[in-house]
Structure 1
Amino acid sequence: MMVEPMNWISEVVRPKIKTLFKRETPENLWVKCPDTGQMVFHKEVEANHWVIPGSEHHLKMSASARLKMMFDEGTWIDVALPEVATDPLKFRDEKRYVDRLKDARAKTGLQDAFKIGFGRVGGLPMTVAAQEFGFMAGSLGMAAGEAFVRGAETALEKRTPYVLFAASGGARMQEGILSLMQMPRTTVAVRRLNAARLPYIVVLTNPTTGGVTASYAMLGDVHLAEPGALICFAGPRVIEQTIREKLPDGFQRAEYLRDHGMVDQVVHRHQLKETIARICGLLMDVRPAAAAPAPASTPEAA
């Protein structure tokens, strides 16, 4: 009887490679710090409210994450926002405007660059609006303007402070004059808050520029800013090319504006909730812990 000799290579040295296909790795597994180049685990940064541990660099934060960070757990609801006409100018550049909107909505899960919530912050009823920079750079168009006004109307109806987290590249060029007219409309909404003696608090985040800076973002009763945030109308590169001079270090950053009286306080993201609750409590003459619970309803969308 013939015995087949043992292949010692296959029997003794067993292959460990089970597949020739490369295992897919999530693209966003690591986050690189823009300041130090440090690589940080994505989940660690997310759990730290998008602040890089160590360097304390403040990354951009989504509107949904902003509201979740601000409101007391289980106390807030979304404010329904009005619908507006889509692409009334039938605008097209390299791509149709309606297609850009579809892409932005798929990317962010929002209908436009604003998200507004109503609930309690430190026990104090509050209306909070956050701009979504990931939606066409948080640009101001008809939908964003209507959303801001609806947030102001909610604050007026519920007699709450109105808090805005600004993050925008400016007016949305695809809507032309319909975008620019949102600047005076939002300004009128702020004036209504002033007349009702309700606090309007603005938190300037990176970046806040263009027509947003030239309107409602700089009309607050109190202006807070996150560390290192770019806050300007025209950016530093445009200014340097225009005046042909080198700008000082830190020009148009949050700390520079604070030192020159344009920002009241630069606040670390982890301290924003406590700071805003304290300021609003003082302005409303209400201690946050003793504030009445927020109502469970919001205005219906027009």
Structure 2
Amino acid sequence: MRVKVRYSTGASPPVVLTLPDSLPVSSLLAQIQASGNLPTSNIEIRHSFPPKLLDLATLPPETPLASLPFKLDGDQLTVRSLDPPRSSVSSSSQPSPSQASKPKPKPKPATFSPTTTFPPNESDPPDALLPGRGTVVLRVMEDDNSCLFRALSYVLTNGLTSPTELRQIVTTWIQNDPETYSAAVLGQPVDEYCQWISMESSWGGGIELAILAKFFDIEILAIDVSTLSTMRFNDPRPRFCMLVYSGIHYDALALSPLTEYSLFLQNPDKDSCIFDRGDQGILQAAMELVRKLKQKKYFTDTKRFTLRCGVCGLGLVGEEAARAHARKTGHTEFGEF
């Protein structure tokens, strides 16, 4: 499961955690602590919408995340550091005004998620030439929690349908088909899931892709950059469109009739995004583009990506190793290499 953690003070950037269902609550609290360098015994966590208090500390430490009475996958946790508890010394032992006025230095945040943008000298995504037809290009969506819906809006309606409208289509579809989309399938009661996916902070996934593919009567192909595998939704249909999935983000694939880089980059209005079934040429060009993305590490592999500690220079592999190093040493500066 994936969870995004935000810190209400803004001192630490959002961190995406990829967690096994069997992970105990105590380990989640430890990861939240490492991400923001915060004491787990003195934080407030809220989740869902409207934000609800999530008091994980009251649960048995060994409770697996899959046993929580709500859907954590795709949720956003907002973490607030509370004032430190008062010292046990008497009230007469107060700091002097000069001492009280000195602000405490804030710890630097731990950022473990690799970037999904290109280096400055290669700021634009690669492309793949399709002879006689143009160029297959990646149209990068805004890096927010609605990237899946933005990408689908781009390929299906030329951006005319808002993410909010697509979320509404999903909730209506689920409510009209409770047998298919039961609580067992959704992982939580239908009404709660519909409320959750309606939130701008909630990420879409396979359920939403399957529903929107049926609603628009089209096959949706989601190509995974990390594995080069293709997930197909509503197969087979006479027409299909394509998305690129980079671990925690979706972008759109399009065919531009232009072949000059500066021209197709500046003219997305000329894109074609829907193709006839059996169009092997577009599929081959799309895979060529995705292979280039993989070579450029345009994906988030939270298990195997390589990091170097900015304090001691130690090389690390994977998010868990980085977090363990941070807990052991207090080092919180990491960069991908």
For the criterion TM > 0.5, the same-fold answer is: no
Greater per-residue strand proportion: 2
